[in-house]
Amino acid sequence: MSGHYSQPTGESEELAIVGRHLTKAYGLSERKAAKALEAPDPAAAVAAEGGFLGAHDVSFQVRKGEMFVIMGLSGSGKSTLLRMINRLNEPTSGELLIDGEDIVTASKTRLRELRNNKIGMVFQHFSLFPHRTVRDNAAYGLKVRGMPKAERHERAEAALARVGLAGKGHKFPHELSGGMRQRVGLARALAVDPPILLMDEPFSALDPLIRRDMQDLLSGLQAEDRRTTVFVTHDLNEAMRIGDQIMVMRDGKVIQVGAGVDIVARPADDYVSEFVSDVDRARVLTAQDLVRPALLTMSVKEPPDVALRRLADNEANGAFVFDVDDRLLGVVSDTDLLVAINADQPDLSGAVSQDYDTVEPDAVVGDFMHLSGRRLVPITVVDRERRLAGVVPRAAILSALSHVKETSHA
């Protein structure tokens, strides 16, 4: 995906953050940076002047309530970009819109208002005040706002309870484990209740089990709050677990943006392909990602002899049968239809069997792949009202898990 951004028609009111052609050159004066960026190879020109191009021509958009993950290896520009969103890093060029307001041109006073009221941040290192209690650390942003002590302590305690630290407010940071200290950092951001939360590799210093617990905690909070969150990580599995959209960066540029399953299934280039090579696709892909139209469907009112001819014409082993309200009743086979014909049955009601396995659209492939090939028809995807969404053929599962392109949906 190129770094060029185009505004979707009619969607601006749904966008919380929009970056347009953002560039950050370190170590150069404004004049030298501007000249270097006009060169055919801006990165080389910036380097020749003794600087470094941390991000170049980056464009992206984050919808309101979305968990947007920026992912890349060390030096990819992900943290540089995150810190441009609240101008901890000043963009060399480009636009950064928060709810339609370009904060690149915002005054220092306005920027301070935005940081205090609209944009919260959680860092990789806990950044807690060692001489303050956990309660006072969680309430710090509210103190900066000038909130009365009793009120800010009440909100801090509520935030601590949300992150699993109820009753810990009187303790000091050194009395807590690393995972608990990071929860305090998260509580401090939640206490201010910002519409936008920036998270710079917040869990990378934690051991794997605690890290997973924190991912689960964040996912639960996100499900409740639907807060616009931009989360930086170098860990693809972490990105896949928590992200609604993932932006992959390399050398300061955007390589691909999309849902995790799209990036895994359709990597934009060899770099992304290598990045996702170790992902367990069976735990990422869902039935909805692999669903195909059912080959043959029939109404329960259809005569058995007509149904049998349709099976033969389509070279199918079985067909799905629906009631008058288009809900799935079951399946029929050629053997069942012959029995119905010989019994002179007027419709398919007596021929329907339950020789099929169903899953819901959000079922993870790894949880149902063992069912493939065991029944008359492929694994059947239905919604909660028993309406057919389609099927997941064995070939689709094998293709997706082996990451080879399908030549047929048969």
The residue whose two tokens read 């349709």 is 310
For the sheet containing 297-299, what is the strand order? 297-299, 318-322, 328-333
Question: Token digits for 375?
Answer: 């029944």
pLDDT per residue as tens digits for the range 136-186: 999 998 998 889 999 999 999 999 999 999 999 999 999 998 889 989 989
pLDDT per residue as tens digits for the range 103-148: 999 999 999 889 888 998 888 776 789 999 999 999 998 998 889 9
- Distance CA(394)–CA(379), nearest Å, equals 8
| Helical ranges in 49-128 per DSSP H | 78-85, 108-117
Identify the CA nearest to 261 among candidates 177, 364, 393: 364
- Whether the CB-CB separation of 266 and 289 falls below 8 Å is answered with no
Percent of the chain with pLDDT over 70: 95
Domains of the chain: residue spans and CATH: 12-129+195-279 (3.40.50.300), 288-402 (3.10.580.10)
**Residue 328: pLDDT over 60:** yes
- Whether the CB-CB separation of 51 and 33 falls below 8 Å is answered with yes
pLDDT per residue as tens digits for the range 330-385: 999 999 999 999 999 999 999 999 999 999 998 989 899 999 888 889 999 998 88
